[in-house]
Amino acid sequence: MKKTVLFFILLLISGLSLPASAAITALLDKNQVGIGESVQLTLQHDGQTDSQPDLTPLKQDFNVLGRSTGSTIQFINGKMSSQVQVSLAIAPKHSGKLIVPALQWDGQFSPVLALTVSSNSATGQTANQSNGNATHEFVTTALDQKQPYVQAAVTLTVRLYTDEPLIEASLDIQPNNDVQIQQLGKDRQTSETRNGRNYQVIERKYLLFPQRSGRITLDGPVLNAQVKDTRNTDSISQDPFFNNFLGHNPLAGMFNATRPLRLQGEQIVLNVLPRPAGNTGKNWLPAQNVTLEETWQPDNGLVHAGEPITRHLHLVAKGLTANQLPDMSSLMNLPANLRAYPDQPSLNTEVQGEGVIGTRDQDIALIANQPGKFVIPATHLFWWDTNKNIQREIVLPIHTLDVLPSTTAVSTSSTPSSSQVAPASRPPVKNDSLTPAKQKYTENAYWPWISLGLIVLWIATIFAWWRTSRSRHPKMPTGLIQNAAIPASKSSADNAHKAFQQACLKNDPQSARRHLQDWAKNTWPNDPPIGLKAISERLGISNLKPLLNQLDRACYAGEKWEGKALKEALKSIPVTTKKGIKSTPELSELYP
């Protein structure tokens, strides 16, 4: 018994060591197929080997969709034989009479095979000559323009027609260095009848952006899927190699239930025109139509120094995406002492018919740091009309801003009113009954008494204020120096503070900023801080500066603002200032 087992093992080892220089055979399961169908190529190597065939020559006219490898050992009439077999699912890249080239495997070459591939027309009218049935799947492509300008958007519409279920289907376009490709929107499913067959149609749109001028060729869209295999597979299922491999066919699940489908549409050709010499605009905007509108807030054009006025620009272009539209603030020429703070734009791209429409909405805050009349020159936008092949221009008219003095600034150059002049500085009342000499004597006689009365009144006022201050405020610790602010009207400051808190609760940045500045003006009437930055420095609260910066951005850049944090930080506003902080009128830092 042991000798029998040993003999069997020796036979097996000798069989595995058979030379690998045996013949290579090749077999196609079909000699005629339609474009998009796959065919099975089987390569068999007599004798055992660890190598694989070289498939490089095959890839010139075919796509390899799948492969499977198996081996077997047989004993026939006491003789042992072994084979290695590779099965390939291949799909022709184009129609016509194709040649399956000889493939090298361990120094041997497989025979050359012929395959006829029938053509599928764009309308799907060509019959599938391999099985006598009409085409089950085909792909069509359509361009909204074949001679676009460089960087202009071209809409590519791809339609997939099928009358059978597709499993694990994917439809893709291969990338190209000369064209940027972007899928547009979602797929749309419809149904259509052609040549008496009902097709399910899947429509997908792409945007193509050619990056250079000249002729550009783009590979057609590729469909990869699995479909139910209704072909006669008796040649495979009855093959003794497969059936004798441990009693079952290892490829039955792959080739009997479904088969791979690879279908490629026709090439896409673009003849791209260069940027014309007649285009003189700063921005290159090839479009079918462009509109530009503006609105102002406030619309009366009246604003105080340090306060923003917002210019809203609405730009729409047919044939361009929103990302291609320019920043309009870069086209504005502003006079001195008037600065622009553009907000983040709102961009939107949508499909309309066979084209695309891009929209750009942008707010630009304009702030003057001094009063006066500011003239904003006309704004010019040039674009290229692709329908008429001419340059067009959009002009926003000249706009004048009347900037009033700041509401928080204290004027030092205006002439004081009569109620502000001290009694000692008023001119004497003219009395016609006195001669000039007597009138001068009378004035000189009264002056010492008037001066003495003013001094006594001033001392009494200071003493009264000191008594009131001591009764209201506790004694400060020794060594702690604070510069107390003197409210001009405590009720006005309290009212402004309450209004500020209400504005924070309503998340109203403009109102919160205005009431906070009113509070500062009533708290420091002789030296009011100008701007939120100055208020932050005057108060000396460590976490206040970033909160006021957020308020500034909300006011000037239109950002969404929540006032809860600032309300809590200034819930009880102190009336003391940091020592050594000098209050200087200035515009606060902006963070658009």
Domain boundaries, the chain: 17-119, 137-233+262-272, 286-404, 435-473, 483-577
CA distance 353 to 28: 47
Distance of CA 299 to the CA centre of its chain: 31
**Annotation: CATH topology of 17-119:** Immunoglobulin-like (2.60.40)
Question: Which parts of 21-152 are beta strand (E)?
Answer: 24-28, 32-34, 39-46, 62-76, 79-92, 96-100, 104-105, 108-109, 113-118, 137-143
CA distance 89 to 91: 7
Two structure tokens written together for 525 = 């009437």
pLDDT of residue 13: 46
Collect all residues with Cβ–Cβ distance below 8 Å to 193 and sequence separation of at least 6: 199
pLDDT of residue 447: 57
Distance of CA 79 to the CA centre of its chain: 71
| Helices (H), ranges, 473-542 | 490-505, 509-523, 532-539
- Write out the chain's pLDDT in tens, 592 residues: 444 444 444 445 444 444 444 588 888 888 887 776 778 888 888 888 888 899 889 888 888 877 888 877 777 776 777 788 888 888 888 888 888 999 988 888 989 899 888 765 433 333 333 333 457 888 889 998 888 999 898 889 999 999 888 888 888 888 888 998 988 878 889 988 888 889 999 999 998 999 999 999 998 898 888 888 765 544 444 444 444 333 334 444 444 578 788 888 888 999 999 999 888 888 899 999 999 999 998 877 678 888 888 999 999 999 888 989 999 888 888 988 898 888 889 999 887 776 789 999 999 999 988 898 899 999 999 999 998 889 999 999 999 888 898 876 444 333 333 333 333 333 343 444 444 444 444 445 555 666 676 777 777 777 666 665 554 444 433 332 233 343 445 678 888 888 888 889 989 888 888 888 888 888 888 777 767 777 887 887 777 878 887 887 777 656 688 888 888 888 776 544 433 333 333 333 333 3
Alpha-carbon separation of residue 230 from 37, 254, 257, 258, 259 (angstroms) = 12, 13, 8, 8, 9
Phi first, then psi, for residue 278 (nearest 5°) are -75, -5
Two structure tokens written together for 505 = 């609760």
Cis before 298? omega within 30:
yes
Contact between residue 91 and residue 38 where contact means Cβ atoms under 8 Å apart: yes
pLDDT of residue 231: 56
* Bridge partner list, 366: 309, 340
CA distance 63 to 98: 13
Q: Tokens 């044939």 identify what position?
A: 319
pLDDT of residue 133: 42
CA distance 65 to 36: 12
- Per-position DSSP letters for 369-415, written without gaps between them: SS-EEEEEPPEEEEEEETTTTEEEEEEEPPEEEEEEPPTT---SSSP
| SS3 letters across 452-483 | HHHHHHHHHHHHHHHHHHHHHCCCCCCCCCCE
Judge whether 17-119 and 137-233+262-272 match in fold: yes
State pTM to two decimals: 0.49
Domain 286-404, CATH = 2.60.40
Alpha-carbon separation of residue 150 from 95, 160, 327, 349, 461 (angstroms) = 33, 28, 20, 19, 81
CA distance 84 to 167: 31
Q: Could you tell me the CATH superfamily of domain 137-233+262-272?
A: Immunoglobulins (2.60.40.10)
